[in-house]
């Protein structure tokens, strides 16, 4: 299993649950956006077993901490995660309530001129809201 190494290297034990979640999240070239709830549904469908909701939360947060996932800042009752952790941005279609990837090359370079003492920039995220 190709994810065993990845997990071990991160100090995470390669458990059955984590490996299954890895398969769903990372075993594709496509990046995708998901909520915890959507992920849980996908787990149920894919393998006729279920992983405890708490474990799904734990795992997603562990992966986020290790940098394998990131949250997408958006006003929604549920938190959205993204398997694409490279610097990139999003369209948010207000009508469809769907996220669409924006490559870095789709957005001109962003230069933040203002500085705050003692703080450094961790990330720059652009959300482009779309309407009809």
12: contact with DNA by CB under 7 A: yes
Task: Give, as ranges, the residues between 44 and 83 that touch DNA (CB under 7 A).
Answer: 50-55, 57-59, 61, 77-79
Write the DSSP assignment of 41-82 as a string of letters: HHHHHHSSS---HHHHHHHHHHHHHTTS-EEE----SS-EEE
What span, in angstroms and rounded, lies between the C-alpha atoms of 87 and 75?
20
Cβ proximity to its own copies, 19 vs 107, nearer residue: 107
Rounded least distance, CB 11 to its own copies, Å = 21
Specify whether the CB–CB gap between 91 and 99 falls below 8 A.
yes
- How crowded is the C-beta side of 132, counted as CA atoms within 13 Å? 3
Residues in contact with DNA by CB under 7 A are: 8, 12-18, 35-37, 50-55, 57-59, 61, 77-79
Residues that bind its own copies in the complex, under the rule CB under 8 A: 71-75, 79, 91, 93-94, 100, 102-103, 105-114, 116, 118-132
């Amino acid at each position: 299993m190709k994810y065993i190494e990845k997990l071990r290297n991160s100090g995470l034990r390669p458990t059955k649950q984590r490996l299954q979640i890895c398969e769903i999240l990372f075993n594709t070239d496509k990046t995708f956006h998901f909520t915890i709830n959507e992920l849980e549904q996908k787990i149920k469908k894919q393998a006729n077993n279920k992983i405890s909701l708490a474990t799904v939360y734990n795992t997603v947060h562990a992966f986020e901490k290790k940098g394998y996932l990131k949250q997408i800042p958006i006003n929604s009752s549920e938190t959205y995660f993204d398997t694409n952790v490279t610097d990139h941005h999003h369209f948010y279609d207000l009508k469809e309530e769907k996220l669409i990837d924006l490559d870095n090359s789709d957005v001109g370079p962003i230069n933040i001129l203002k500085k705050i003492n003692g703080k450094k920039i961790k990330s720059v995220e652009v959300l482009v809201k779309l309407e009809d």
